[in-house]
Amino acid sequence: MATLTAPATTEPHDTFPINGTDYIELFVGNAKQSSLYYRAAFGFQLLGYRGPETGVRDRASYLLQQGKIRIVLTTPMQPEGPIADHVRLHGDGVRDLAFWVDDARDAYAKAIERGAESAHPPEVMKDTDGEVVIAAIRTYGDTIHSIVERRNYHGLFLPGFVAVTPEFAPPPVGLKYVDHCVGNVELGKMNAWVDFYARVLGFFNLLTFDDKDINTEYSALMSKVMSNGNGRIKFPINEPATGKKKSQIQEYLDFYKGPGVQHIAMATDDIIATVKALRARGVEFNQTPTTYYDTLQARVGKIDEDLATLQALGILVDRDDEGYLLQIFTRLVQDRPTLFFEIIQRKGAKGFGKGNFQALFESIEREQALRGNL
């Protein structure tokens, strides 16, 4: 029955309001070539550039966008300095998972007060389009969270970036937004980082997987999924668990030389069309064991998609109480066994494909064995 009283506020108060992911920045060895890869293979559009030609001497950055996903690829111009150090140590990898906030000074002050380590205090960047206030805090490994306030900015992205309209512009593949970003941390450190996100940034623990959920003969992991107050930012945190041989999380840590971002999941409204387009452009995906599809119908029940099409494309399906999801994982996007991407379509399900972890692990381990790291 309708009433005029206000609904009860049972949701916990959001103590660190974040509007969403602002951008994801990768430090790479050759941003010019990487940008062509993400455009040609993944359908990102090149929108902006900042570098020596625009007055920034020490780096070149390419701004790519598809749907709401903004990726910045940055490379150092000289062998000295923090960007070059990052690339030398980690290879190509994610440096920054940036938050979009209304008040960067206030958010930064709150984070520091609650125990965050500063990467840099608030800085005001200006150009003729207004100003952006940007601060940053450190998270696991050499990864940071920039805190970006852009309410007084009307330009393309950040001051210093100039718009570019390349002749070569492969069309988008239907990627809409960042669904989640997964961090790998050292054995025994998962709970410390879970606590960091809860205590400093007001995140809550959405889901937990232990080594009984995710375990093959050789490899295991534990994972806790942290979400911010409005649910737009989800960070699963993985740590290796002990198996007979080396965990794939440990392999990542060994090659990234510490904790870092393992994969970024990007959402689509039509995974079949998106994955077809990605495959046609040369994106490689982890192989799914063909036996996976023998039991799929029994495991997930009725779904809208044609099973034969899903099998032909290698798309995985999982169901939870609220619906189902479709997902697929790319192969590594660089030679070091570190970063990869996930493509996901949610049809009600709010989980992360727990039922698929086993199948995924088995396929990852076949590749790990081929590299001699198992």
Choices 186-194, 216-224, 259-267, 309-317; region in contact with Fe ion by CB under 5 A = 259-267
The DSSP string of 10-48 is -SPP-SS---EEEEEEEE-S-HHHHHHHHHHTT--EEEE
Residue placing its CB nearer to Fe ion in the complex, 196 or 357: 357
Choices 20-28, 166-174, 203-211, 265-273; region in contact with Fe ion by CB under 5 A = 265-273
* Locus of tokens 């512009």: 169
CB of 214 to Fe ion, least distance (A): 12
How many CA within 13 A on the CB side of residue 115? 10
Question: What phi and psi values does residue 132 have, to the nearest 5 degrees?
Answer: -120, 135
Choices 28-36, 84-92, 296-304, 342-350; region in contact with Fe ion by CB under 5 A = 342-350
Q: CA end-to-end span of the chain, whole Å?
A: 60
Q: Answer yes or no whether residue 119 interacts with Fe ion by CB under 5 A.
A: no
- Residue 48: which residues within 8 A CB-CB, separation 6 or more? 62, 63, 156, 157, 161, 162, 163, 164
Q: According to CB under 5 A, which one of 142, 342, 362, 365 is a site residue for Fe ion?
A: 342
Residue placing its CB nearer to Fe ion in the complex, 110 or 346: 346
CB of 322 to Fe ion, least distance (A): 17
Q: What is the DSSP letter of 52?
A: G
Q: How many CB atoms lie within 10 A of CB 120?
A: 13
Residue placing its CB nearer to Fe ion in the complex, 147 or 310: 310
Q: How many residues bind Fe ion (CB under 5 A)?
A: 2
CB of 345 to Fe ion, least distance (A): 13
Report how far residue 82's alpha carbon sits from residue 88's, in angstroms, rounded to the nearest whole number. Answer: 10
CB of 203 to Fe ion, least distance (A): 17
- 112, 147, 227 from 122: Cα distances, Å: 12, 9, 24
Q: According to CB under 5 A, which one of 214, 265, 283, 359 is a site residue for Fe ion?
A: 265
Report how far residue 54's alpha carbon sits from residue 31's, in angstroms, rounded to the nearest whole number. Answer: 16
CB of 54 to Fe ion, least distance (A): 35
CB of 236 to Fe ion, least distance (A): 6
Residue placing its CB nearer to Fe ion in the complex, 157 or 292: 292
Chain residues binding Fe ion by CB under 5 A are: 265, 342
